[in-house]
Amino acid sequence: MKRNSTEPIQITEVCLRDGSHAVAHQFTVEQVRAVTRALDEAGMHYIEVSHGDGLGGSTLQYGRSLVDEMKLIEAAVEQCSQSRIAVLLIPGIGTVHELKQAHSLGAKLVRVATHVTEADVSAQHIHFARELGMEALGFLMMAHSAPIDVLVEQAKLMESYGAQAVYVTDSAGTLLPEEVRARVRALRSSLSCEIGFHAHNNLSLAMANTLVAIEEGATRIDGSVRCLGAGAGNTQTEALIAVLQRMDMHLGIDLYKLMDLAEEVVAPIMHRVPEINKGSLSMGYAGVYSSFLLHAERAGKRFGIDPRDILMELGRRKAVGGQEDMILDVAASLHKNQ
């Protein structure tokens, strides 16, 4: 692979944040310690720990956490001798107060996430993170749902606020490889900061899309051990490291240790195996936010509606992350019109 960048690739492991969706936010302190310790021993660059919807996400709307995320962040930091702990913050869900607390516990990096057309709401949080001395990255969610020129415009805003990287975030797992290529290439040619990429596997394209992103110059890359993440999960970290090593791209991460972690530590704590089933496939096809899957399944059961119909309708309504309350409304409406 000929890369359009000389910057080193840095991996952020998201199984303890995106994977929170897959376990209904029920991670225990012991589980977080065990996973973080193994990731640190394997040489993982960054480990993201927070509620699936970011700091402050433990609510009735998004799902209550079993354990306060600050306790999980603290537990993760205690296990690290080389990895750095990261957090996600979605303005409107999390605030600078949660960010300050996470930093005080040892979090070193924050990804400030907004819908792809709403980068302007990230300014305060990016500025504040930089003032704290944290790495601050922008995370443009649902990147498929805006034209490329709008994506570039919004990424430039995040860069102007101080973001040290901006991510193309395929929240729905709906982008095709050439769509990823066009987006990463556009950002690479328009921004001075690093470019990141976050994939979901709802159309079985997470690995292909991640490799295309790397080829086009993305250097901040997300993966999830055992694919533990929302929907059909994310790019599988241990598989990604194996593929990159076959391409003679060595990132200082121990493949065998990742394999052992996946099978011996992560697999036993998974409530469900992220896979491409009718629900996750429907999300990728309809372009729906990946964390909606469990909510749609619950609403479907409650109202006697096929969850696929709920997801397709959410896609038609162009629902975005943070609109979980719309899922019950859609299910109720479909039930009424049966």
What 8-state DSSP symbol labels residue 224? B
- H or E segment to which residue 73 belongs: helix 69-78
- Which segments of the chain belong to CATH 3.20.20.70? 10-269
Tell me which of 88-102, 128-142, 219-233, 293-307 is least confident: 293-307
The active-site residue out of 21, 25, 125, 295 is 21
pLDDT over threshold 90, residue 156: yes
Mean pLDDT of 282-293: 87
Quick: pLDDT tens for 293-331.
888 888 999 999 998 999 988 888 888 777 787 888 888
Question: Is pLDDT of 290 > 80?
Answer: no
10-269 topology per CATH: TIM Barrel (3.20.20)
- pLDDT, position 86: 98
Mean pLDDT (the chain) is 95
Residue-wise pLDDT tens digits, 232-273: 999 999 999 999 999 999 999 999 999 999 999 999 999 888
Answer for the pair 93, 63: CB distance below 8 angstroms, yes or no: no
In terms of Cβ atoms closer than 10 Å to its own Cβ (0-12, 13-18, 19+), residue 20 is buried
Q: Tokens 């991996």 appear where?
A: 11
39-63 per-position pLDDT tens digit = 999 999 999 999 999 999 999 888 9
Q: Using alpha carbons only, what angle is made at residue 293 by residues 166 and 286, rounded to the nearest 5 degrees?
A: 70
Residue 336 pLDDT exceeds 90: no
Residue 43: CA count within 13 A, CB half-sphere: 12
CA 1 to chain CA mean position, Å: 25
Residue 240: closest CA among 32, 44, 95:
44
- 307 near 299, Cβ under 8 Å? yes
Provide the pLDDT for residue 293.
Answer: 81
Q: Which residues contact 116 (CB under 8 A, 6 or more apart)?
A: 140, 141, 142, 143, 145, 146, 150, 151, 154, 169
Give the separation between CA 120 and CA 157, rounded to whole angstroms. 7
Annotated binding site: 17-18, 171, 198, 200, 289
- In this predicted structure, the answer to whether residue 94 has a pLDDT above a threshold of 80 is yes
**For residue 64, what pLDDT is reported?**
94
Q: Which residues carry a binding-site annotation for Mn(2+)?
A: 18, 198, 200
Distance of CA 263 to the CA centre of its chain: 22
Q: Is 250 a catalytic residue?
A: no
Q: Where in the chain is the domain with CATH 1.10.8.60?
A: 291-336
DSSP state of 230: S
Residue 1: band (very low, low, confident or very high) from pLDDT cuts 50, 70, 90: confident
Question: 98-108, pLDDT tens digit by residue?
Answer: 999 999 999 99
Backbone angles phi, psi at 65, to 5 degrees: -80, 145
Q: Which residues are annotated as a binding site for substrate?
A: 17-18, 171, 198, 289
Given this model, what pLDDT does residue 209 score?
98
Q: What is the CATH number of domain 291-336?
A: 1.10.8.60
- Predicted local confidence at residue 294, as pLDDT: 81
Angle at 41 between CA 39 and CA 44, to 5 degrees: 45
CB 66 within 8 A of CB 51: no
pLDDT of 271 reads 81
